[in-house]
Structure 1
Amino acid sequence: MYRHILALQQVSRRTFVSTARRQVENKVPEKQKVFQEDNGMPVHLKGGTSDALLYRTTMALTILGAGYVVYELVKAAFPQKKN
């Protein structure tokens, strides 16, 4: 039993304490230049095609959701007559 606890302690120590760290390049200054330049584009579209796609998808879902809400409200306001 004690052997299992020691093994678990050793495994947990290895996962949290590591000497091999991956060096990550700092990309913040590059992104700041892109987003702060004055080119007439709105900020939410300066990220490229992925931002434009995300923006259009969000707008489409918002419009469809609003239309569905109006449809359900109209349907609830004029209930169907039962025969």
Structure 2
Amino acid sequence: MFRNLLALRHLSQRSISTAARRQLQNKVPEKQKIFQEDNGIPIHLKGGTGDALLYRLTMALTVFGTGFAIFELVRAALPKKK
């Protein structure tokens, strides 16, 4: 318990710095080249495998949601007979 308080005290006394610890390489020009290529791939899929998986997941959820909504509307419109 006391050790946690000392650590908290140390954190609160440390000055907050906005200076970057390391410089990051600017990757924007490389990404611009990839996205501006005229290779027939739609822009939403040019990011690679992650974009393709996200697109397919989104489409699957959309189709499932539309089907479920239609099913619920039909079920509500045609209630079970006793």
Do the two structures share a fold, i.e. TM-score over 0.5? yes
TM-superposition CA deviations, 1:19-46 (whole Å, max 9, x none): 5612111111100000011111100011
Select between 21-30 and 67-76 the one with higher mean Cα deviation: 21-30
Percentage of matched positions with identical amino acids: 63
Q: Secondary structure at the match of 2:65?
A: helix
Q: Secondary structure at the match of 1:16?
A: coil
Cα RMSD (Å) of the superposition? Answer: 2.3
Gaps of 5+ in 2: none
Q: 1:81 deviation in Å?
A: 2.4
TM-aligned CA distance change 1:44 to 1:20, over 3 Å: closer
TM-aligned CA distance change 1:16 to 1:59, over 3 Å: same
TM-aligned CA distance change 1:20 to 1:46, over 3 Å: closer
1:22 aligns to what? 22
CA distance, structure 2, for counterparts of residue 29 and residue 13 of structure 1: 40
Q: Secondary structure at the match of 2:14?
A: helix
- Whether 1:62 aligns to 2:46 is no
Provide TM-score, normalisation by structure 2: 0.78
Aligned residues: 76
Select between 15-24 and 49-58 the one with higher mean Cα deviation: 15-24
1:73 aligns to what? 73
